[in-house]
A and B are shown apart, each in its own frame.
Chain A
Amino acid sequence: MEERTLRLWQGGIETRVEEGGEGPPLVFLHGPWGLSGDRDFLGLLAANHRVHAPWHPGTSPGNPEAIHRLDDWLDLVAYYGELFDRLGVEAPALVGHSFGGMLACEIAAAMPQRVGRLVLIDPLGLWRADRPVRNWMILPETERARALFADPQDAAAARFFALPADPAERVAAQAGFTWAQACTGKFVWPIPDKGLKKRIHRIATPTLILWGEADAIIAPAYARDFADRIAGAQVAMIASAGHLPQVEQSQETARRVRDFLAGGG
């Protein structure tokens, strides 16, 4: 994967985009922890797609202030319209995880013509009082691996939380991990229910909903709630995966996505 930086939004937002692969365009929207943990998965998708993976505003190096240029969901969706234009993608496949899944829904509901196919991986965006979404921004350090992974002892979990040995790089990585939660959290705090339920019926594109069957942040029961509101949506559970199936079961998750996007899933 290579990366480039785009200057958007009247010059106020610099966005790093990681890109790779050849094929039909695919835009990936990361979750609350940034893009670093998703690179293996993106490499798998790049086998038969041109993958564009932008960092959320505020999380690109050297431009934390960008987060203060967008205030609400209307701003954010309009910003992504601009980003799609600059990437030169008309109606790409849109794949979003967690926060990025909610964002993908909002983009697809506001601009149905800009999304070719939609894949939601453990998306935020709906709220059930009987199964409240766990607040991922206040996870105790001792519990976070167990909260995010089906198998907290697995190498995938260790890689996800691994920090560089070099002290300066370590600080940058720790700060980046926290700051990505801050910047994405701006749009969902304190309850990740911001009206998507009123707009979700506008999604008019073939949709696949993937869910880690052991997701302890957003209960897998939510898969049904999304599917009931998006016409024709398919649901598949990913075994042995928590909230991050694309990290914990990257092969299986990528296979499902590729099959669906090829029209066979």
Chain B
Amino acid sequence: MKICMFHLMPYRDLPADFDRRYQSAYLDPVWFDVADPDKVGRYYNWTLDEMAYAARAGMHGLCTNQHHQNVYGFMANPSLLGAALAKMTDGRNVAIVQIGSTLPSTSPPTRIAEEYAMIDCLSGGRLVAGFPTGLPTDATLSNGIVPVEQRERYREALDLVLKAWSAREVFAWNGRHYQLPMVNLWPRPIQQPHPPIWIPGSGSATTVEFAVDRDDCFCHLSYFGAKNAETLGDYYWDTVAKRGRDANPYRLGFLQLIGVAESDAAAEEYAPHVEYFFHKLLYTPQYYQAIPGYQDLPSLKRALAAPLRERLDLRALKYKDFVERGFLIAGSPATVRDQLLAGVKRLRIGHLLALLHFGSMPHELCLKNIDLFCREVLPALAPLWDDEWHDRWWPQRLQGGEA
């Protein structure tokens, strides 16, 4: 299997009373009341350094993502960081996984096609092109996209990007949402007709079906752990079977919070950081997330009839709850290894996105987490699936190479 370092680039030092002052990590906290730009400069640098460190330690890929107007993660343009990482990992056998820029929020979306093509050229063909629809909060409130149009814009934009990457002739795009008189992109990606495409989703059945139909890799970006993803995982593989796709585990990615320490007891050093993550950073109320129109009517009815998860008061849970419930896999290398192996086998995950930095975790602890994970855990996971399956969703030039 392939294992990638995922980073949200959060604000690491929120005021202690943040969760009393704000009902949301998104939109409400005013920059000048909460943030320090010098600190933020350090966070961006630490983030890049942590990712580059992970690449040197043996991670197979590095994941960036796009969010806006929040304390939870603000790589507002992930291409900026992806470009820096491409340069910082020059010559290494590591994928630059942009997972990624949100198409509906960028107009025209050929801008993302250009940025991704630049990263693919800059990295020597190491790009994985992720295309999230984007959180409704980001798309509709921060970027003003009409909620009921978010998904159709996304689909049109993706078609446009794919055509722009590989078309041999200058073409006109006369779309419903985008009209461009002359498209002839410079540069084009090294990987033709396109880099591997990953489609992240947080559990919408529509996105699962879309990814399976397109034969792209679907990445379930959940913060609630492999243990709580079995319903979605079963739905995913059921959809794969029903639509006549093969059972290649590499068509599924999954995100997991992980904290490795010398022993199970020592892993409690992650306690304040995971509590900070769930209490402060992940706290976004329903009214910002469930904006009317972000789900089509069938998905909305499905979600109301059978919610994917029980609605939890995250602020009432502590470290031991997060570990017991499997939101965080934490402990000695052996504990983490065993739990991860069980989880990835149960869900048939080919791409594990390891969130090794979360919450207020300081730089040094993040490096330690990466170091222990890559030395003690990753080697036990990496050989999984390779005897039977080929990763069709990985850059061609990185296939089989050694770091």
Query: What residues make up the interface of A, taking CB atoms closer than 8 Å to B?
Result: 58, 64, 67-68, 71, 137-141, 167-168, 171-172, 174-175, 178-179, 181-183, 185-186, 189-190
CB–CB B304/A67 < 8 A: no
Whether B293 contacts A182 by the Cβ 8 Å rule is: yes
Whole-angstrom distance between the Cβ of A75 and the nearest chain B Cβ: 12
CB <8 Å contact, A183 and B148 = yes
* B141 & A186 in contact (Cβ 8 Å cutoff): no
Given contacts A68-B152, A138-B141, contact A185 B305 (CB under 8 A): no
| Interface pair A171/B301, CB less than 8 Å apart | yes
Which residues of B sit under 8 angstroms from A68, Cβ to Cβ? 148, 152
Q: Which residues in B have some Cβ–Cβ distance to A below 8 Å?
A: 140-141, 144, 146-149, 152, 176, 285-288, 290-293, 296-298, 300-301, 304-305
Determine whether the beta carbon of A190 is less than 8 Å from that of B292: no
Instruction: Pick the residue among A139, A175, A185, A189 that contacts B287 (CB under 8 A).
Output: A139
- Given the interface pairs A64-B297, A186-B148, A189-B146, the reply to whether A138 lies near B304 with Cβ below 8 Å is no
Q: Which residues of B contact A140 (CB under 8 A)?
A: 285-287
Task: Please indicate the chain A residues that have their CB under 8 angstroms from the CB of B144 in the complex.
Answer: 189-190
Looking at the assembled complex, report how far the CB atom of B362 sits from the nearest CB atom of chain A, in whole angstroms.
Answer: 35
The reply to whether A67 and B148 form a contact with Cβ atoms under 8 Å apart is yes
Q: Can you show 17 pairs from A to B with CB atoms below 8 A apart?
A: A67-B148, A138-B287, A138-B288, A138-B291, A139-B287, A167-B305, A171-B305, A172-B301, A174-B304, A175-B300, A178-B290, A181-B293, A185-B292, A186-B293, A189-B140, A189-B146, A190-B141
Give the chain B neighbours of A190 by CB distance below 8 A.
140-141, 144, 146
Of the residues A139, A167, A175, contact of B297 by C-beta under 8 Å? A175
| Chain A residues, CB < 8 A from B293 | 179, 181-183, 185-186, 189
Complex contact B146–A185 (CB within 8 A): yes
Nearest Cβ on chain B to A47's Cβ, whole angstroms: 34
B147's contact among A167, A174, A182, by CB below 8 Å, is which? Answer: A182
Give chain B's interface secondary structure class: helix
A182 touches B148 (CB 8 A): yes
Q: Determine which of B152, B288, B290, B304 lies in contact with A171 in the assembled complex, contact meaning CB atoms within 8 Å.
A: B304
**Residue ID in chain B nearest A179 by CB atoms:** B297
Closest beta carbon of chain B to A13's beta carbon, Å? 15
Query: From residue A259, how far is it (CB to closest CB) to chain B in Å?
Result: 35
Across the interface, name the chain B residue whose C-beta is closest to A59. Answer: B297
Q: How far is the CA of A67 from the CA of B150 in the complex (A)?
A: 13
Considering the complex, give the chain A residue whose CB is closest to the CB of B304: A171
Complex Cα gap A262–B147 (Å) = 41
- Cβ-closest chain B residue relative to A138: B287
Whether A182 pairs with B285 at a CB distance below 8 angstroms is no
> Closest Cβ of chain A: how far from B252's Cβ, in Å?
29
Residues of chain A within 8 A (CB-CB) of B147 are: 137, 182, 185-186, 189
- CB-CB under 8 A from A137, the residues of chain B are 147, 291-292
Whether A141 contacts B286 in the complex (CB less than 8 A), given A68-B152, A190-B144, comes out as yes
Most chain A CB inside 10 Å of its own CB: which residue of B147, B291, B292, B293: B292
A67→B316 CA distance, assembly (Å):
41
Find out whether the CB atom of B297 lies under 8 angstroms from the CB atom of A141.
no
- Determine the residue in chain B with the shortest Cβ distance to A33: B292
- Interchain CB contact under 8 A, A179 and B300: yes
Closest 9 CB pairs of A and B: A182-B293, A181-B292, A64-B297, A182-B292, A190-B144, A189-B146, A171-B304, A178-B292, A140-B287
CB pair A185 B286 closer than 8 Å: no
Instruction: Provide the residues of chain A in CB contact with B152, threshold 8 Å.
Output: 68
- Please measure, in the bound complex, the distance between the C-alpha atom of A68 and the C-alpha atom of B152, giving whole angstroms: 9
Q: How far is the CB of A9 from chain B (nearest CB, A)?
A: 16
Contacts of A168 in B (CB 8 A): 305
Since A140-B286, A140-B287, A190-B140 are in contact, a sample of 14 more A-B pairs with Cβ atoms closer than 8 Å, ordered by chain A residue number, is A58-B148, A67-B148, A137-B147, A137-B291, A137-B292, A139-B287, A175-B301, A175-B304, A183-B148, A185-B146, A185-B293, A186-B146, A189-B293, A190-B141
Report which residue of B146, B148, B285 has the largest number of chain A beta carbons within 10 angstroms of its beta carbon: B148
**CA of A263 to CA of B304, assembled, Å:** 47
Cβ distance A99 to chain B, nearest Cβ, rounded Å: 12
- Which A residues are in CB contact (< 8 Å) with B300? 175, 178-179
Cβ of A234 to closest chain B Cβ, rounded Å: 33
- Closest chain A residue to B290, Cβ basis: A178
Closest Cβ neighbor of A68 among chain B residues: B152
Complexed CA–CA distance, A58 and B301 (Å): 15
Q: Which residues of B lie under 8 Å from residue A181 when comparing CB positions?
A: 292-293
Task: Give the residues in chain B near A167, CB-CB below 8 Å.
Answer: 305
CA distance A232 to B298 in the complex (A): 46
A171 / chain B contacts, CB cutoff of 8 Å: 301, 304-305
- Bound CA–CA A68/B290 (angstroms): 20
Q: In the docked arrangement, what's the CA distance between A141 and B285, Å?
A: 10
| Minimal beta-carbon separation of B178 from chain A (angstroms) | 13
